[in-house]
Amino acid sequence: MSHSQVVIGVDSSTQSTKAAFTDAATGRLLAVGRAPHRVTGEGGARETDPEVWWDALRDAVGAGLKESGVQPSSVIGIAVAGQQHGLVVLDGAGRPLRPALLWNDTRSAPQAAALTETLGGPDAWTARTGSVPVASMTASKWQWLRENDPAVADATAAIRLPHDFLTERLAGTPATDPGDASGTCWYSTATGEYDAELLALLGLDTDLLPPVAATGAARVGSLTAGAAAELGLPAGIAVAAGTGDNMSAAVGLGFGGAGLLDHPVLSLGTSGTVFAATRTRPASAALAGFAAADGTYLPLACTLNCTLAVDKVAALLRLDREDATPGGEAVLLPYLDGERTPDLPAASGLLTGIRHDTTPQQLLGAAYEGAAVTVLRALDEVMRACGLDPAAPEVAGRPLRLVGGGAQGRMWVETVRRLSGRPLTVPASGELVALGAAALAAGAATGEDPVAVATSWDTGTGPLLEPVERDTETWERVGAVLDRAAPSLLS
């Protein structure tokens, strides 16, 4: 099979690596090679050896080459989108000194709280970085390492995010992008540079950090002979700066300066994530005020309890996840893992409003409603961060793009549709992170804007579901329980 020009978009997530071989002209997905990761850790610890990511990238590219039948000579560029926030510490030769601390490693919660306090509270942080330190942020993890393993911290010659580590292995040069850098809490979204005062607070030298490219599609180098030999690709092809997974998903949807601005996305996964691309710099303590990969901003909110929590309720009730009906008077806040948005880290699940005639199907429906109202309230906060009134008819009428595993579930789609009152689009492609990375690779190879590339590829489109009348009664009932129960009953 011959393809004129091919780009490879790599999605290096917590659990696996995917390498999407994509026709550079049309965005047609030719093959997706896959390889798993190993995550270790007890209690709050979540770690992976960065070498596992490199091995998985090599295996995924090999599988994609085989499956697609693409001639290596037709590949013109590669870009990596990676899980955000992870802390990778390297020695002088670029070898990991210890396993990486992943975004979902919660051991640094005390350090996050202390850092927030030291600078003068949440607003002082959002003014500089757009975000407040929490356990997921890289600055909190670095502080944890300094306090708990000072020998490794002292021996550290380079600090990288997961996607930076892989990009450097590809190109042989250190680089990051504004999007992933904005998840560290030591990069200023106000100035577009590392923040000297925060680096001093963290005992960090700029020399430890990679230079920040202008965008995730900037060409930061060429595939080295060594990396090319390992991957079975030609040396010298374009290597993009790459970005974080959320930023890459936005590119894959055609969100950004050259595409759609101020339009909402809801990702239904283990966690529920809402974001939009905007030109307004976000500074709300309730959100992560990230930079996007293309020079715009990406205000984002994340709830911890989404598909996994609802599936757990289904299992407890011995019901299929689709065997649910609206909750009636019952309210179930499925905060089984504590909650991040709203900030209730010690929360557990809360059930109220049961009557004699309440059915198991209604209880499961109430779990969907509790998770959906929580994440849709966060979505309103994202729209406010874009400088918009979420209740204004023109804003409330913008289609909500529904992505992630839950978007394939009938009950999830119907619950979000009923509680949001918005038109919904479920994009046809399930590989938006990898396709966003492929658009970054195309941008690095051709100099084109990656959002314009993804828009021309049409990767973010799908069938439109017309809005239904909003179920304000359920919205208000769930919201009232949440507001009355927090924090006393929920922590």
For the chain, how many residues are written? 491
Nearest Cα to Cα of residue 157 among 233, 240, 88, 102? 88
* Annotation marks residue 164 as catalytic: no
CB-based contact 105:44 (threshold 8 Å): yes
What does the block give as tokens for 142? 């670095």
State the amino acid at position 279 in one-letter form.
Answer: R
d(CA 251, CA 441): 12
For residue 427, CA distances in Å to 300, 424, 482 come to 19, 10, 31
Cβ–Cβ < 8 Å for 363, 325:
no
Cβ–Cβ < 8 Å for 80, 166 = yes
In Å, how far are 171, 248, 256, 453 from 448, measured between CA atoms?
Answer: 20, 16, 14, 7
User: Per the residue annotation, which of 23, 105, 245, 471 is the catalytic one?
Assistant: 245
d(CA 90, CA 208): 9
Locate all alpha helices (DSSP H) within 177-306, ordered by sequence. Answer: 178-181, 196-201, 225-231, 245-252
SS3 at position 156: coil
Q: Rounded to whole angstroms, how far apart are CA atoms 299 and 317? A: 36
| Of residues 189, 164, 166, the one with CA closest to residue 175 | 164
- The two tokens of residue 344 are 């209730």
Q: How would you classify the pairing of strands 272-275 and 265-268?
A: antiparallel
Instruction: Give dist(CA 5, CA 107) in Å, integer.
Output: 45
Residue 338's Cα: distance from chain center in Å?
Answer: 19
3-state secondary structure of 432: helix
Q: Find the largest Cα–Cα distance for the chain.
A: 71
Q: Are the C-beta atoms of 435 and 429 separated by less than 8 Å?
A: yes
Q: Residue 264: which H helix or E strand, with range?
A: none
Quote helix, strand, coil % in the chain, to nearest 5: 40, 20, 40
Element containing residue 350 per DSSP (H, E): strand 350-352
Cα torsion 104, 99, 149, 187: sign: negative
For residues 120 and 132, the answer to whether their CB atoms sit within 8 Å is: no
Q: Return d(Cα 212, Cα 176) in angstroms, integer.
A: 5
Q: Looking at the annotation, which residues are catalytic? A: 245
